[in-house]
Structure 1
């Protein structure tokens, strides 16, 4: 007889092959999903303020995208959440100042990443930085993400697994 975890709809993993989804369902059924993630991503980063996040983002930008536009504002945003399907956000606000058009770039990271593994924060930041050069999620965008973070795709998958774990009912 099938258990609920055999048919569990994994909303964050819908675009992945069925065999990967089944591996995650298996870990859920065996109550080992948290163990899997803890083994791969055991730590928690120390970046807790917007000022520290701004410094972190600018350091990554300088290491990887020196010619990209300056970032004017970076912050953790508690209004970004999974219901809006946004873990990070980049915006460009254009204003006319003294006859010149000025564009201000902002990066916002969902507050839930204050408590996440450093690898997940880095993946979200790399994703948002890549949008400074590539606005669409196309081949060039993902190539840039992989340039900045060679294991980008694995981290993105594991981040989706982490989000899945966060939404599981407490089985204890």
Structure 2
């Protein structure tokens, strides 16, 4: 459950989103690089208690917001225009757009170190970005499904579990998740990351089949499957802002 609230402190206003979770035992405040403040709360924690906790951390919150404002990263959202650079498994590919009467629907593929997109010849100039985006998203999603499936088959065997059902989809705030029914969801934009970063997320979520929380036992499982996971986890934290379509 989610709920929005605000407080006034130090002559300023803090807008924040309360995210309740049945699994969470301790409250936590998260200041995001996009300048959003989240309060992650256990079930039953009252709004008044939360306000008091946010007020108590107000100076810290403002310092974090100011730091993110000063170190704001460039907007990575794509314009889907000729020559734009796209990442795929950590490598850069310039976008090449071709209008042709050989296709009925937008089609994306790699050719000669370029990301090629073919769209119907009758597409008007001011509408080109829409079919290009659709083609790129469909192509990246399909590629991500293939990569994730390969990784799951390898690591499910190592973990001695049945290869789980998985879905590759767009997720705004997380790279992956594992449901109570052991259905894995992986953010398809991870196909832009170097292979080992994608591999880390797959291993991480797969280990949640055996350990649903982030206990010491959970991290022990992750390390057994991927001894150098911390390197790739840290790199994903540093570089993940780039993996945006």
TM-score range with shorter-chain normalisation? 0.5 to 0.7
Aligned residue among 197, 200, 203 for 1:120:
197
Task: Measure, in 1, the Cα distance between the counterparts of 2:231 and 2:144.
Answer: 27
Instruction: Decide whether the 8 Å contact of 2:193 with 2:243 is kept in 1.
Output: no
| Gap runs ≥5 in structure 1 | 1-8, 13-24, 29-40, 94-104, 168-172
How far the C-alpha of 1:11 sits from its partner, in A, is 4.7
Tell me the equivalent position of 2:175. Answer: 87
Q: Matched residue of 2:153: which SS?
A: helix
- Superposition TM-score, scaled by structure 1 size: 0.56
Q: Which residue number in structure 2 is paired with residue 57 of structure 1?
A: 152
Matches of 1:138 and 1:92, distance apart in 2 = 17
- Native 8 Å contact 2:192 2:243 kept in 1: no
Unaligned runs of 5+ in 2: 1-30, 35-67, 72-88, 93-139
Secondary structure of the 1:132 match is coil
- For CA contacts below 8 A with separation 6 or more, give which structure has more relative contact order: 1
Structure 1 position 131 matched with structure 2 position 208: yes
1:144 corresponds to 2:238: no
In structure 2, what is the Cα distance between the partners aligned to 1:76 and 1:11? 24
1:101 maps to what in 2? none
For 2:82, the equivalent position in structure 1 comes to: none
Question: TM-score normalized by structure 2?
Answer: 0.40
| 1:48 match: secondary structure | helix
Q: Structure 1: how far apart are the matches of 2:226 and 2:164?
A: 23
Q: How does 1:29-108 map to 2 (within 5 A)?
A: 42-43=90-91, 48-62=143-157, 64-66=158-160, 68=161, 70-78=162-170, 80-82=171-173, 86-93=174-181, 105-108=182-185
Contact 1:72 1:106 in 2 (8 A): yes
Query: CA–CA distance in 1 between the matches of 2:234 and 2:219?
Result: 14
Deviation at 1:110, TM superposition (A): 0.6
Is the 8 Å Cα contact of residues 166 and 185 (structure 2) preserved in structure 1? yes
Choose which of 195, 217, 237 in structure 2 pairs with 1:160: 237
Point out the structure with the larger helix share: 1
